Structure 1
Amino acid sequence: MNSFFYKSLKVFALPIALTVVLAGCSAEAKTNKETVATVNGEKISQEELTETLMTQYGVAALDTLITNKIFEMEAESEGLSVAEKEIQAELTKLIETYGGQEEYEAVLDANNIEEEALLEDITTHLLQTKVLEKVINITDEELATYFEENKTTYEQTEQVEASHILVADEATAKEVINKLNEGSDFAELASEYSTDTSSSTDGGSLGYFGAGEMVEEFEKVAFEMEIDDISDPVESEYGFHIIKVTGKQDAKEAVFEDVKEDVYDNLLEMRIQEEYSSWLTERYAEYDIDNSLTE
């Protein structure tokens, strides 16, 4: 995930909110005296809201639109475009970053972001990356050097694959254990009992994880278990976990050819961060730009 563009979904909140509000203000210009809020009966009009937004954020918002337009024109001249499958792949990675569909949707809701607007930002990000990639030349020698300097980043630590059933109290945990001992299916019980809604619909599956990714109590037990083992109830701050280990991977030293694509993506991200501002300054000098908010 390119952190230059995706520090957090919150990165999108302000631009998207402004785009929606300002577009709405434009569309409703004929009713700009309309009241959008009242304080003890005193009205705040649509016009006042628009003026405040323009004063506080207008220059930055317009600068973003100009920058996006430059990238669009550069992409067109280079014959570059973004395919729908690329957008969906990036969205999938973003959802995984937030821990799954439910957590991702919660972040969208918390920031009042519509997915359609987010997809537009993802498209912009991918297009900008393609444009900058055309002017950033990364050699195999540079890739090999970057890999050696950051080799530990690409090493595979010991991993455990596990599922769990999370319940609120020990009595319920023991009830689940009894059902497992009687031959009930773990995945079915996870769907029925687990309070972890992000995994319960997938049989309690948590996938593979390394050290430091789970709460300490859970992790300590999971790494000591063998494949197909089911734990006694394990208490953590979230409740009582019943853990089933389904797979293990040993630690493995990184091999350049195996991670070359990831090395390239990371080095490209670093180079973009270094060269973005200077590249954009050069483009601003080349394009005939008329900005009424700054001139």
Structure 2
Amino acid sequence: MDKKDLNGNENLENNGTTEEELNTSEIINEEVEVAQVAAEEPVNTTKADSIPVMNKVGANNATPPPTAPRSNKAWMIASIVLAAALIIVLVVQKDDSKKAVATVNGTKITKEQLYDKLIEAGGESTLQSMITTELVDQEAKKANVTVTDEDINTELEDLKAQFGGEAAFNAALSQSSMTVDDLKKQMPLQVKLRKILEPQVTVTDDEIKEYYDTNKATFSEEEQVRASHILVETKEEADAILKQLKEGADFATLAKEKSSDTGSKDNGGDLDFFKRGDMVAEFSDVAFKLKVGETSDAVKSDYGYHIIKVTDHKDAKDYTLEEKKDEIRKTLVSQKVSTLSSTWMSETTEKAKITNTLTDAKEDAAATAEPTASAAAGNESTK
């Protein structure tokens, strides 16, 4: 059971749709921006077939599950697949473009037709992504920038922290139809860009203090408890379980066997740490009164009867500027790198010699059509 929602599938909020075409700056900014968006927006997870005991007070459990913070990672994976398909078709097209890749009632669908459809479906944006990656790779080589496994792991840990933890991070991946390995394939581009641009970024102590003062409320941590629970339908079931616990039965084992909360039962009923407002009132009121190691009597809520065991506790805490200084510096550096990356990418692209057969022809056609249109307009004005 997730502390925010116990409904099986873990999804996140999506504040924007996947864009079919990304310009050069957007492709570069995407990985940098996603962590910042995640840090700004709380992440909810939902489980469709279990009980939303941990929903915030007043939440409407009948509403559709929320989706993820703005992220084009799913598009990026689709682009990789599409790019691979395009390369395969390009390789074979020269010699056997008329060869059938499929037939429908005897009518052929050729490799050439497949290639054309792949181009229509996203060839331009896929090729642009490949051009961008090559540009960054070249600039990284000039700057002697390399990417190690440690760099990738550090980047992953930073993302997990900014998403709010392992569960929310995994939910974001699930929403984007990605695995950790998929994400790792995308990260070298982000790491290279950060390493290239970070030396150009300066963050002062005054900026850090201003950020701390502006966001001081976010540097306070509410009291939290960690608890496990067993959820059943009736008081009689709860009382029977309590009797077994008093006789020495293991709480986690009974949770796996008897709890109806599919979100937590496999973890022995563990709900991880939660704040008071993360739970329905009946649950929180009891959990926050228990001492570590204590187990409650049967607690009734709209979802049934809970037996709650508190396993850990964190006091409320207000963090000082000194305690958060390194974290704030890292955040400000990321923000400045994100802002700088757009300009840097545009300038780098302008300096590079790039040919793109998918877009150059269109630009040439537009340039040819423009004088013709101007001449026609001139003729009209002289009539």
What's the TM-score, normalizing by structure 1? 0.79
How far, CA to CA, are the matches of 2:243 and 2:343 in structure 1?
65
Partner of 1:143: 208
Residue 192 of structure 2: SS of its match in structure 1? helix
User: Match of 1:178?
Assistant: 243
Aligned-pair CA distance for 1:123: 3.0
Residues 205-262 of structure 1: per-residue CA shift (max 9 Å, x gap): 3332224334554334322333222223445566543221122222222211211222
CA distance in 1 between partners of 2:107 and 2:297 (Å): 62
Give the structure 1 partner of residue 148 of structure 2. 83
Secondary structure in 1 matching 2:278? coil
Letter matched to residue 356 of structure 2:
N
Q: In the alignment, is residue 270 of structure 1 matched against residue 270 of structure 2?
A: no
Could you say what the CA RMSD is over the residues aligned between the two structures, in angstroms? 3.6
* Equivalent residues of 2:89, 2:115 under 8 A apart: no
Larger Rg: 2
**CA 1:11/1:213 → structure 2, altered by over 3 Å: closer, same or farther?**
farther
Per-residue deviation at 1:58? 2.1
Asked if residue 4 in structure 1 is aligned to residue 33 in structure 2, the reply is yes
Give 1:43-122 correspondences, 5 Å limit: 47-91=112-156, 97=163, 100=166, 104=170, 111-122=176-187
> Following TM superposition, by how much is the alpha carbon of 1:120 offset from its aligned partner in structure 2, in angstroms?
0.7
Aligned positions of 1:1-295 closer than 5 A: 4-6=33-35, 8=68, 11-28=72-89, 30=92, 33-35=100-102, 47-91=112-156, 97=163, 100=166, 104=170, 111-167=176-232, 171-194=236-259, 196=261, 199-234=264-299, 240-295=305-360
Could you say if the C-alpha distance between residues 199 and 60 of structure 1 is closer, same or farther in structure 2, counting changes exceeding 3 Å?
A: same
C-alpha contact (below 8 Å) 2:83/2:127 kept by paired residues: no
Q: Which amino acid aligns with 1:23?
A: A
Deviation, 1:91, is 3.7
SS at match of 2:288: helix
CA distance in 2, matches of 1:27, 1:5: 31
Mapped to 2, the partners of 1:107 and 1:275 lie a distance apart of 26
Shifted more, 26-35 versus 12-21: the winner is: 26-35
Distance 1:133 1:184, change over 3 A: same
Distance in 2 of aligned mates of 1:11 and 1:168: 42
Which one scores higher on RCO, CA 8 angstroms, separation ≥ 6?
2
Structure 1 unaligned blocks of 5 or more: none
Change (3 A) 1:69 1:171: farther
| Cα contact 1:227–1:246 (8 A) shared by 2 | yes
1:13-32 CA-partner distances (Å, limit 9, x unpaired): 11211211330343255487
Contact 1:152-1:254 at 8 Å conserved across structures: no
Contact map agreement 2:74 2:176 (CA 8 A) in 1: yes
Is the 1:17–1:113 contact (alpha carbons within 8 Å) kept by the matching residues of 2?
no
For 1:176 and 1:276, how far apart are their aligned partners in 2?
A: 59
Distance 1:84 1:247 in 2: 34
Aligned length: 291
Return 273-282 or 20-29, whichever deviates more: 20-29
Q: Secondary structure at the match of 1:124?
A: helix
Q: 2-side partners of 1:278 and 1:189: how far apart?
A: 58
One-letter amino acid of the structure 2 residue matched with residue 24 of structure 1? A
Q: Percent identity?
A: 33
Q: Helix, strand or coil: the match of 2:248?
A: coil
Deviates further, 57-66 or 228-237: 228-237
Change (3 A) 1:19 1:277: same
CA distance in 2, matches of 1:143, 1:165: 45
Do the aligned residues in 1 keep the contact of 2:231 with 2:260 (CA within 8 Å)?
yes
Question: What CA distance in whole angstroms lies between the structure 2 residues aligned with 1:211 and 1:177?
Answer: 24
TM-score (norm 2): 0.63
